[in-house]
Amino acid sequence: MNNIPAFGLGTFRLKEQQVIDSVTNGLDLGYRHIDTAQIYGNEAEVGKAIAAAKLARNELFVTTKIWTENLSKDKLITSLKESLSKLQMDQVDLTLIHWPAPNDTIAVATYMEALAEAKVQGLTKLIGVSNFTIAHLKQAIDAVGAKEIATQQIEIHPFLQNRKVVDFARSQGIHLTAYMPLAYGKVMTDPVIVEIAKAHQANPAQIALAWSLQQGFATIPSSTKRANLESNLAAKDIRLTDAEMDAISRLDRNDRLANPDFAPQWD
């Protein structure tokens, strides 16, 4: 089993001082899994906040992601070295392919093999994928083997449960990381989730995160507010009943939030 901490801090959309504050607060509150990406434009700030926290490197789990422009064989490793330099690290814990190459202009095998080589070179401990369809996952498995793929990070929340991809990844023994687990705050007003939250004397965000954790996903909510960062962490202590899990599973409506124009044809 890979050692990806189940609860992490996402940094998508957080810039400059905002991301420094979020990571600083998160580390102070006990978060030890920080998720960034080349395209977020905040790796240097994340690195700065981590360096200032003065934690032992082995206490932290740091993920970054290779952007689509860097997927070619000659660019991938160079771009990862640049990320490491910004993060002030010799090695990240996990490097993901952020998206499959737009229109599959570069073969999956090409960038998976380059990513595997980055691992051999010691630039990253683990490798994985993000936003891969079942077809892309199959090609990645053919290229490097399922055991090499530490996680598939995809959008999963009560309104987009991505079951086909989840089931396929699980059938191959591939772990899943849920991003946007709070659906940009939409979970806060859903009547079913609000009702379950009342029963647990919790808030709806905690319920949505508990639902994700209880399925064995790693989950990486983000927040700029210290109080929310703290309250999100409390989701780890909530156990939902089978009936509650079932009620949330019925909220699936294929409500996809991350769907850029270069996204693949979803399953």
CA neighbours closer than 13 Å in the CB half-sphere of residue 137 = 28
d(C-alpha 184, C-alpha 125), whole Å: 30
- Furthest-apart CA pair in the chain: how many Å? 54
Neighbours of 24 (CB within 10 A): 17
Helix/strand/coil for 183: helix
Helix boundaries (H) for 121-235: 134-144, 163-171, 191-199, 204-214, 226-233
Annotated catalytic residue 111: no
Tokens of 157: 């929340």
- Given the residues 31, 40, 111, 179, the one annotated as active site: 40
User: So which residues are the catalytic ones?
Assistant: 40
